[in-house]
Amino acid sequence: MPQWVPIIILGIGNVGRALTRQIVDLRALHTERLRARLEIVALADSDGAIFQPGGLQDAELDAILRAKAQGARLRDGELGAPLGDLLGLVDVAVDDGAIVVDLTASDTTIPALESALDQGYGAVTANKLPLAADLATYRRLTDHRRFRWEATVGAGLPVIATLQNLILTGDEVIRIEGALSGTLGFLASQLEAGAPFSAAVREAKQRGYTEPDPRQDLGGLDAARKALILGRMSGLPLELSDVVIESLYPAAMNSLTVDEFLDALPALDQQYAQRVAEAKATGLTLRYAAEVSESGARVGFQALPPDHRLARVRSSDSIVIFQTARYNENPLVVSGRGAGAVNTAAGVLGDILSLIA
C-alpha cells in the first residue's frame, strides 16, 4: 500500500498551479518508484482556503486549477471558505508526515512554517522572504532537518543542494558568483543587442519575465535575497541590509504608478546605452551579477570579459559558479534554465520527494 503523504499548499498562483498539475500527472510514477501517494489536503490563496482531510480528488483539483487560471478566488468556489489565518490552516490536525509548501511571496507565512516544523511536519518553500528575514529567523527555519528550500535560488536548478553537499563534505567556499535573475539576464542580453533600456523592460514585462511592477526586479532586491541565502549558507552572518545592491532606476521613481514608471523609463535610455558602449569599447560585456565572499555580498552590473562564464549567459538562463578549496582553479558550475513556473514547481516537487524518499 503506498504511503499517504498529506500536502498543504500555501499560494496557488502560477507555480502553485504547476506543482498541483505535476503532483496529479505523476501519481503513477511516484506510486511505482517511491511507494508514495501525494494527497493535496489543503490549498490557500490570499484570502481563502479549501480543506479536505481525505485529500482533494483529481477532478476537484482540475476544476480548481481552471478557476484559478481565470482569476477566481478559492473562497468563492464550491469547496472554498474564507481564510482565517495560515497558522490556523497548518495547525488543523492531519496525519503525521504532512508537508507544508510555501509558494507565496509574503513573509506572513513564517509563523505557519515554524509551527509546521515544530509539529514534526516537513516544510518546503520557493518563497525567499522567510529565508531573507532576520538572521535569527533564517537559523530557526534551516536548523530543522525537515525543511527544504531548493527553489529559492535558481528555480529547479540544484544550486542549494550543490552548496549543501560542498559544505557538508568539508569543502571551503571561497567565492560564489552568479547570474541569479532571469529577468535581469534577459535585460542585459537585450541591452547588449542594442535595445534601448525602456524597450527592453517593456519587452520583459510583456513576456511575463518581470513582476507586474517591474521595479520589484529592477531594484535588484530579488537577486540580493538570493545572494543573501547563499551567503548565509556559506557561514556569513549577513542581514539583508549588509548586501550592496545596485538598483537600475533612481529612488525618485518609486512614487510613480506602474504606467507612469514605464512612461518615464526613456529618460534612462542614454545612461544605459553609454554603459553598454563603454563596456564594448574595452572588449567587455555587461551582466547583472551577484558575488558572495568572506568580504560580504553584492549584486549589480559588472563589465566582464567575453570568456567569463557569466558573460556567456544568454536570455533568462541562470548560472552559479562555486569557487572552493576543492574546486579552485576550475570552479564548479551549475547552469541552465533558472526561471519559469514549471521549472520552479519541479524544484519544489523534488524537495517534497526528498522528504519522503
Confidence tier at 316 by pLDDT (50, 70, 90): confident
Is the pLDDT at 313 greater than 90? The verdict is no
Confidence tier at 211 by pLDDT (50, 70, 90): confident
Predicted local confidence at residue 94, as pLDDT: 66
Rounded to whole angstroms, how far apart are CA atoms 307 and 355?
Answer: 40
| Residue range 298-321: mean pLDDT, rounded | 90
Predicted local confidence at residue 96, as pLDDT: 67
Confidence tier at 271 by pLDDT (50, 70, 90): very high
Rounded to whole angstroms, how far apart are CA atoms 287 and 248?
Answer: 12
| Residue range 118-147: mean pLDDT, rounded | 96
Domain boundaries, the chain: 3-155+342-354, 167-337
Let me know if domain 3-155+342-354 sits in CATH 2.30.30.40.
Answer: no
Among the listed residues 128, 157, 135, 150, the one whose alpha carbon sits nearest the alpha carbon of residue 11? 128
167-337: same fold as 3-155+342-354? no
For the entire predicted model, the pTM comes to: 0.93
| Residue range 237-242: mean pLDDT, rounded | 97
| Residue range 255-276: mean pLDDT, rounded | 97
Is the pLDDT at 315 greater than 80? The verdict is no
Predicted local confidence at residue 314, as pLDDT: 75
What is the overall mean pLDDT for the chain?
93
CA distances for 2 relative to 56, 119, 231, 316, angstroms: 17, 23, 39, 39
Predicted local confidence at residue 93, as pLDDT: 55
What are the pLDDT digits (tens) for 57-107? 999 999 999 999 998 999 888 888 887 767 777 776 566 689 999 999 999
Q: Of 3.30.360.10, 3.30.390.10, 3.30.43.10, 3.30.1280.10, which CATH number belongs to 167-337?
A: 3.30.360.10
Active site (catalytic) residues? 226
| Residue range 305-323: mean pLDDT, rounded | 89
Predicted local confidence at residue 288, as pLDDT: 94
